[in-house]
Amino acid sequence: MPQKKLKSWLPTPEQILQSKTLKLFAPHLADPRLWHFNRHSLNKAVYIGVLCAFFPLPGQMPLALIGALMFRANVPMALALTWITNPFTTLPVFYAAYYVGALILDAPMISLRMIARMIADFSTWVFSDGANPFITYQGSFSLAAFCLGLVILATITSIICGIAFKILWRYKVVTTWQQRHGYRPKNSKATKSTKATRNTTNPER
């Protein structure tokens, strides 16, 4: 069943509660529905996790956890999917978001190198005493275009991933049931060859 593989891939409750931030939500995680590995719970977690992954915040995982609590979605799945945006994917995702938003709002386009420099300056501003990047890049960067692009990409990607997960889950369940019961399609080559053998053996039929 799909549940067994997913359980081996996703974080355990113990691993989740090791985070100091997520540990604050421990009193709210007693509901067993938050840990169910059924299609409905996991499907909701896909929508929530992918959507939260696109928000450029240090608190993506707490945001996904709050969403899982609100909609009673699978917590490990929602948290794991926030890692869609990671140090390797953040730059292309942010650039694509700004590109989409700039096209819609007719804002000034910027290069991929400039996005990388802005991310570095933003990190310096958050974790140290660097200059405010919103002032530094004022006039050459549209924050409205960036936010709009992120919302559009997040919404479209979460819907696509949610639908794809539902289809793949259904396909896996059906194929597993067929394998367990030895089901073969009626029009398969094996069935046709079996019928041909029977007709050869019993020509009078």
**Residues sharing a CB contact under 8 Å with residue 182, sequence separation 6 or more, in sequence order:** none
Say what the pLDDT of residue 126 is.
60
Say what the pLDDT of residue 205 is.
45
Q: Comparing C-alpha atoms, which of 104, 111, 110, 112 is closest to residue 150?
A: 104
Give the pTM: 0.77
**Cα gap 93→90, rounded to integer Å:** 5
What tokens does 94 get?
């942010």
Q: Comparing C-alpha atoms, which of 168, 163, 194 is closest to residue 5?
A: 168
**Cα gap 151→100, rounded to integer Å:** 10
Which mean pLDDT values do the consecutive 10-residue runs of the chain (205 residues) have? 70 83 86 87 95 84 93 94 89 91 91 79 65 62 90 96 93 81 61 51 49
**Cα gap 178→185, rounded to integer Å:** 10
Say what the pLDDT of residue 1 is.
47
Provide the CB-side half-sphere exposure for 121 (13 A, CA).
Answer: 13
Q: Comparing C-alpha atoms, which of 61, 106, 66 is closest to residue 84?
A: 61
